[in-house]
Amino acid sequence: MRHARTGKKLGRDSAHRKALYSNLAGALIEHGRIRTTVTKAKAVKPLAEQMITLGRRGDLHARRQATSFLRSRDVVHKLFAEVAPLFKDRPGGYTRIVKIGPRAGDSAEMAYLELVDEEYVAKEREARTPEPVATAEPEATDDERLDAGSDEGADDGDDAAGDADEPEGLDEAGVEEAPADPREGD
């Protein structure tokens, strides 16, 4: 029996579990919101909140403790510089778990583990979304060119149907072109 045993094992040995918690907490700090199973979210939530509390303290010892757990100086810097100041007036409860339903593959219950500050989460999500690719101006169709009175480019040569003025099989000089494949002429 597991009397007075805290924490979930999650089917992992202790080193794997510690690495999982470190990676999930680091991803939460870096991105503001992560999608994971409900069990993992419940297991990592107190650890992530403890890291934010260390960030609120802000001293050298707290920074070293956070680096020891998170194992990434970039994430620790972001924690102390950007995330922790958002919660300086909040006495706790920095994260929330939002259930989003079962996963398609194995029907595991999924959830978002996210920071409570919506503005930070929205800013991080916007920073991750790629910019829309700027397209060139759409070319005018033949009808629009004729309406504009411009004769340029009216005969691009890349029309699949060809020009309506010339009969099929004649080039610009009116000379009949030989088909490239002798079977095409039939």
Helix (H) or strand (E) holding 99: strand 95-102
Nearest CA to 53 among 75, 83, 21?
83
- The DSSP string of 101-165 is EE-TTT--EEEEEEES-HHHHHHHHHHHSPPPPPPPPPPPPHHHHHHHT--TTS--S--SS--SS
Measured between alpha carbons, how far apart are the two ends of the chain, in Å?
A: 87
Query: Is residue 137's pLDDT more than 80?
Result: no
pLDDT digits (tens, 9 = 90+) for 140-180: 666 666 666 655 555 555 555 555 555 565 566 666 666 66
Provide the mean pLDDT of the chain.
83
In the chain the domains, ranked by start, together with CATH numbers, are 14-128 (3.90.1030.10)
The residue-averaged pLDDT of 35-57 equals 96
pLDDT digits (tens, 9 = 90+) for 116-125: 988 887 888 8
Higher pLDDT, 145 or 111: 111
Nearest CA to 113 among 15, 186, 178, 20?
20
